[in-house]
Amino acid sequence: MPPRKKQPADDQNALFTVSSAKEIQAILWKAADKLRGSMDAAQYKEFVLGLIFLKYVSDAFAERREQLAKELAAEGIADDRLAAFLEDQDEYTGHHVFWVPETARWPWIAANAKSGDIGETLDRAMDEIMKANPALTGVLPKIFNKDNVDQKRLAELVDLITDARFGGNEDKPAQDVLGEVYEYFLGNFARAEGKRGGEFYTPSSVVRLLVEVLEPYEGRVYDPACGSGGMFVQAAKFIEAHRGRSHKADISVYGQELNERTWRLAKMNLAIHGIDGNLAPRWGDTFADDKHPDLKADYVMANPPFNIKDWARSEGDPRWKYGTPPKGNANYAWLQHMISKLGERGTAGVVLANGSMSSQQSGEGEIRQALVDADLVACMVAMPSQLFRTTQIPACLWFLAKDKGPGGVKGQKTPAADRRGQILFIDARDMGEMADRTERILTDADLAKIAGTYHAWRGTDSAKDTGDAYEDVPGFCASADLKTVQGHGYVLTPGRYVGAAEAEEESAEAVVEKIARLTEELYELFDKSDLQSKSIRMQLGRIDV
C-alpha cells in the first residue's frame, strides 16, 4: 500500500454520537438478565463481558473506518483505490485500533443473529479477531456454541447489545465510555458472585487511595495479584488527570493472575483502556511460578487474597529474606515477594487483613520486626469497615519504601523530607460514608485527606506545591520513630500511636439544651409506642379464637 500523509491529531476525534455510559450500562445489564436464569453469575459474566468487548472493537473499527474514508476523500484518493485503503490493516493498528475481519464485525453478527447458529458465529468471530491481533491471543472467550447455551436467548442478547454504540465524541471518547461500562460490570458481577467476586475486584475507592498515595507518574508498575487489572487502569487515569492522556505511555505495567478467567478479563480491560501491559503469556501462581522473575519495579500496588492457607511455600525461597512465612498464612509471603520486586527507590502499597499488623503467630512477629528494623515500612493506614462487600475481614494498608531519604522519591524535583527511621501511622477507621446498607466508600475528601497527609509527611513535590506541612493530629495521624515502635513490641496498629482525638468542650448551656432535646425525642417515641400497642390490641380483639 503506498504511503499516505497523516492527518493532524485533532482531526482524529470520534465521529459518532455516543449514548451516555449510564444508558449503555442499563441496556447491557438488561442483556445480562437475559441469561441470568440459565446460568450462574460466573458464566454470564464471561458471556456479557466478552460480547461487550466484541461490540467495542467492532464499533472502534467502524469509527476508524469512517474517519479514514473522510481522510481519503479530503486527500483526493480515487474511488478505485478507496477500497484497498479501507482494508489496509496498518491504517487501523497504527492508530491503536484492533483489526476486525469482515465476518467478525458487529453488523455481520447482528444480521445473522436469528439464523439459528449465532453461537457458532460468535465463536468464529472471537477466533478471527485473536488470529488478526496477536495481543489478544488466547484472551477472548469461545464459549457461545455449546449445548448448554440457550441460542434463542443468546440471539436476544445480541439484539440488545446492538442498541448500544461505543462510538465517541470530543467530550467522551469511545474508549472512555466502554471503560466505564466495563468497570461498572466488574463491580456488579463482584456483588452478584459474593465472595468469589473478591477474586477479581477491588473497590474503586481503595484502588484510588493506593494510586493517590504512590503517585505513579512514570516507570514500571507491578501487581502480583492483578485480578481484572484495576490497579493499572486507575494508575493510567491518575496520569491522565494530572498530566494528560498522552502521558499514559509513561508507565509500563506488569502483572500476574492465578485465575484463568480473571486473567482474560484483565487482558480485555487493559485493551479497552488502551494500556499496553505485560500480564505474562498465561496465568500462573505468583509463588510457585513467578512470571516476572527479573523485574525491578518502581511501584507495586496490590490487593492479594487475605490470609490464604494453601499456598506454594518453599523453605529455601530467596524471597524470604526477612524470615520464612508460615504455612498457614501467606500475608508475609506477599509482603516479602513485593519487597523483592522493588527497585532502589521503589515504593509499594498493599491491602492486607488487619491481623498482619499485630500477629505474633508462627514467626510473623519476627518477620514484621525484621521489616521495621530494615526501615522498609513507610506508612500504615487502618481502614474503615465494610469497604469490601465480599468479605467482612477488616483491612489495612501497608506502604513500603526502599529509600525513605531525601532522594528516595522517584521523579521528585526537590529533595523530599528525610524520613529514615520513622513510620507514619494514619487511623482512617471513622472515614467514609455508606453507599448503601452494606457497603462503605471513601469519599473524594477522604482520599485527599489521607493522601495529602502522607505527601506532607514525605515532603513530596505535590505537598510543596499546595504548601501543606505535616503535623501530628491526635486521633488521626502520628509520626513515630523506630524506638517508639520497638517499645510497642513492633505492633503496627495505628490506634496505638495516634492517640485519642481531642474532645471539644461543651458549655453547661449546650449540655442542658441537648438533654432537653433528647428527653423530648424520647417522650415522642413513648407516645408512638403507646399508639402502636393500642392498635395491636384492637386488631387482636377482632380475631375469633
pLDDT for the residue 205: 92
Q: What are phi and psi of 409, to 5 degrees?
A: -105, 115
Judgement on whether residues 186 and 232 belong to the same structural domain of the protein:
no
CA distance 405 to 393: 34
pLDDT for the residue 442: 94
CA distance 382 to 495: 8
**Any idea of the CA torsion for 79, 80, 81, 86, to the nearest 10 degrees?**
70
Beta bridge partner(s), residue 481: 422
Measuring CA to CA, which residue among 356, 273, 344 is closest to residue 307?
A: 356
Q: Residue 537 falls within a domain, yes or no? A: no
- CB burial class (10 A; 0-12, 13-18, 19+) of residue 510? exposed
Angle between helices 174-193 and 41-74 (to 10 degrees): 180
Judgement on whether residues 15 and 93 belong to the same structural domain of the protein:
yes
Judgement on whether residues 234 and 298 belong to the same structural domain of the protein:
yes
Judgement on whether residues 186 and 214 belong to the same structural domain of the protein:
no
pLDDT for the residue 514: 62
Q: Residue 443 falls within a domain, yes or no? A: no
- Cβ-based neighbours of 203, under 8 Å, separated by 6 or more: 387, 388, 389, 439, 441
CA distance 150 to 134: 31
Judgement on whether residues 215 and 148 belong to the same structural domain of the protein:
no
pLDDT for the residue 244: 85
pLDDT for the residue 149: 81
pLDDT for the residue 541: 67
Contact predicate 495/382, CB 8 Å: yes
pLDDT for the residue 19: 53
Judgement on whether residues 334 and 423 belong to the same structural domain of the protein:
yes
Judgement on whether residues 213 and 186 belong to the same structural domain of the protein:
no
pLDDT for the residue 197: 43
Beta bridge partner(s), residue 441: 433
How many structural domains is the chain composed of? 2
545 residues of the chain, pLDDT tens digit each: 444 444 433 333 333 334 566 777 777 777 667 666 666 666 677 778 888 889 889 988 988 998 999 888 888 888 778 888 899 999 998 888 999 999 999 999 999 888 778 999 999 999 999 999 998 988 998 989 988 788 888 888 888 788 766 655 545 666 667 677 777 777 777 666 654 544 546 888 999 999 999 999 999 999 999 998 999 999 999 998 888 877 888 999 999 999 988 899 899 889 888 888 999 999 999 999 999 999 999 999 999 998 899 899 999 999 999 999 999 999 999 999 999 999 999 999 999 999 999 999 999 999 999 999 999 999 999 999 888 876 777 899 999 999 999 999 999 999 999 999 999 999 999 999 988 887 889 999 999 999 999 999 999 999 998 888 999 999 999 999 999 999 999 999 999 999 876 544 445 555 666 676 677 667 777 776 777 777 777 767 666 54
Judgement on whether residues 318 and 183 belong to the same structural domain of the protein:
no
Q: pTM of the predicted model, to two decimals?
A: 0.81
pLDDT for the residue 345: 96
Question: Burial code of 394-416, b = ≥16 C-beta within 10 A, e = fewer?
Answer: bbbbbbbbbbbeeebbbebeeeb
C-alpha cell recorded at residue 252: 509500563
User: CATH number of the domain that 183 lies in?
Assistant: 1.20.1260.30
Half-sphere exposure of 145 (CA within 13 A, CB side): 14
Judgement on whether residues 213 and 323 belong to the same structural domain of the protein:
yes
- Cβ-based neighbours of 105, under 8 Å, separated by 6 or more: 58, 61, 62
User: CATH number of the domain that 482 lies in?
Assistant: 3.40.50.150
Q: What are phi and psi of 239, to 5 degrees?
A: -65, -45
Q: Residue 539 falls within a domain, yes or no? A: no
Q: Residue 182 falls within a domain, yes or no? A: yes
Q: How many CB atoms lie within 10 A of CB 242?
A: 11
Measuring CA to CA, which residue among 228, 258, 252, 227 is closest to residue 239?
A: 252
Measuring CA to CA, which residue among 234, 237, 236, 276 is closest to residue 254?
A: 276
Q: Residue 154 falls within a domain, yes or no? A: yes
Q: Residue 442 falls within a domain, yes or no? A: no
Measuring CA to CA, which residue among 201, 208, 251 is closest to residue 229?
A: 201
C-alpha cell recorded at residue 313: 511455600
Judgement on whether residues 223 and 258 belong to the same structural domain of the protein:
yes
CA distance 70 to 152: 39
Question: Which DSSP string corresponds to 336-398?
Answer: HHHHHHEEEEEEEEEEEEGGGGT--GGGHHHHHHHHHHTT-EEEEEEPPTT--TT----EEEE
pLDDT for the residue 452: 97
Measuring CA to CA, which residue among 494, 371, 394, 448 is closest to residue 213?
A: 448
CA distance 199 to 201: 6
C-alpha cell recorded at residue 458: 514525605
pLDDT for the residue 41: 60
If phi > 0 it is left, if psi is from -120 to 50 it is alpha, else beta; for residue 401 that is beta
3-state SS of 141-185 is CCCCCCCCCCHHHHHHHHHHHHCCCCCCCCCCCHHHHHHHHHHHH
In the chain, what is the straight-line distance between the N-terminal and C-terminal CA atoms, in Å? Answer: 93
Judgement on whether residues 184 and 277 belong to the same structural domain of the protein:
no
Beta-strand relationship, 377-382 and 395-401? antiparallel
Judgement on whether residues 161 and 288 belong to the same structural domain of the protein:
no
CA distance 102 to 104: 5
Q: Structural domain of residue 353, as residue ranges?
A: 209-433+468-498
